[in-house]
Amino acid sequence: MQRQQILDLYTWSPGVCFRHPEKGVTRTTPIKTLHPRDDGSHEIRACEDCLIAMEGIRREKAARAGSEYEPGHVGECGEQRA
């Protein structure tokens, strides 16, 4: 699958990448919403490079587990802990 095809599976809007805050506001997609007890909700956003990297990890994991890789579900993997 091509990078652009993967990117097209997500909704992009301006925001700050959780791994690249130094980039400032860039094109990002929400990958997780945290709900700290006293602080409403906090959205974790990823830039294109990080999203592609995460999809790559998911693809490798699926290949190792012998399961089918389906892109577009990075936000549902639940690997980040609040």
> Would you tell me which residues interact with Zn ion (CB under 5 A)?
17, 19-20, 47, 50
Smallest separation, CB 49 to Zn ion (Å): 5
Q: What is the spatial distance between Cα 33 and Cα 41, in angstroms, rounded to a whole number? A: 6
Smallest separation, CB 62 to Zn ion (Å): 22
Smallest separation, CB 54 to Zn ion (Å): 10
Closest CA relative to residue 26, chosen from 2, 44, 45, 7 = 45
CB of 48 or CB of 71, closer to Zn ion: 48
CB of 50 or CB of 71, closer to Zn ion: 50
Q: What is the spatial distance between Cα 8 and Cα 12, in angstroms, rounded to a whole number? A: 9
CB of 51 or CB of 71, closer to Zn ion: 51
Residue with tokens 């959205």: 43
Q: What is the spatial distance between Cα 18 and Cα 16, in angstroms, rounded to a whole number? A: 6
